[in-house]
Amino acid sequence: MKAGSNLEKIFTQGHFAVTGELGPPRGASVEVIEKKASHLRGVVDSINVTDNQTSVVRMSSVAVCKLLVDMGLEPNLQMVCRDRNRIAMQSDLLGAYALGIRNVLCLSGDHNRFGDHPQAKNVFDVDSMQLITIVKKLRDEGKMLSGQELEGVPKFFIGAAANPFGDPFEFRVTRLAKKIDAGVDFIQTQCIYNMEKFRKYMHIAHEEGLTEKCYIMAGITPLKSVGMARYMANFVPGLDVPDYYIERLKGVDKKKQADEGIKIAVEQIQEVREIPGVKGIHLMAIEWEHKVPEILEAAGLLPRPSVN
């Protein structure tokens, strides 16, 4: 065991893992977090807490993770390179561990151009790959980047993201291999809609032995409506939503589109479970946390195994 988090135990004991996601509020409300968390309680193995996603200012990811710990839930701390330099990152990582946070997901971060403060100065002192090496150094060497010995070593289970649909496709598996070399334990992928391309990606990763070196979780985001599907297809760079899904959602009555979206998500979960090397799913139900139990129930992933 590297960190002993619930998520790590789920993997090491051979279970198919399920993680959820919680977007912190654009304000100081604890109630919003409690409400979102209540839908995820008992149905996921760990909860990703996003770090000012889409560069919109939200409550601190570390603070929300701590609130989840206090609620008896396991958080997965997302940390982006956009807003912190290596000093702040190491400091926050040490603090996060002291607060009981055991999983960390290393990300580059959405560019601030997209957010609610496009005038901000960005940082990008290190990139996501290098952030992984920092967390690993803290954990495995007990040292800071400077070489300074730590008083108390943070034993994190280290995650990162992968987007099989970004360009150039040929380099995407190489990126995955680099992240494994950097020290990643688990990967959560970008939302998958183009199953054929994902299969191809996983096939190459599997052939190269990468699926034995880290736990890969397939990203699933249920489509709430045909409008959302169109938005994802046209306005989210690096996402690949085949026309098939748009046509399928268009084909049902507006009131039934949400149900159809859930049906699609359940089918996708079943499809990714058949792909060699997929060790879990990361369910990103964006502002739709209350549907998570229903989706996971329908996908046959409940109840979650309890591990020691």
Binding residues vs other proteins (CB under 8 A): 81-82, 86, 108-111, 113-114, 122, 124-130, 133-134, 145, 161-163, 165-168, 170-171, 174-175, 177-178, 181-182, 190, 237-238
- Least separation in angstroms between residue 241's CB and other proteins is 12
DSSP code at position 114: G
CB 83 within 8 A of CB 122: yes
Whole-angstrom Cα distance, residue 268 to residue 218? 10
Nearer to other proteins, 161 or 292 (CB): 161
Q: How far is CA 58 from CA 26, 78, 302, in A?
A: 4, 13, 31
SS (HEC) of 273-302: HCCCCEEEEEECCCCCHHHHHHHHHHCCCC
Helix axes 86-98, 61-70, angle to 10 degrees: 10
Q: Which of residues 109 and 222 has its CB atom nearest to other proteins in the complex?
A: 109
Q: Which is nearer to other proteins, 108 or 225 (CB)?
A: 108
Beta carbon nearer to other proteins, 83 or 260 = 83
Residue number, 118 or 276, with CB nearest to other proteins: 118
Shortest distance in whole angstroms from residue 284 CB to other proteins: 13
Q: What's the closest the beta carbon of residue 38 comes to other proteins, in angstroms?
A: 30
Distance in Å, CB of 115 to other proteins, minimum: 12
Q: Return all residues near 198 (Cβ < 8 A) that are at least 6 apart.
A: 164, 165, 189, 192, 218, 272, 275
Instruction: Tell the smallest beta-carbon distance from residue 189 to other proteins (Å).
Output: 9
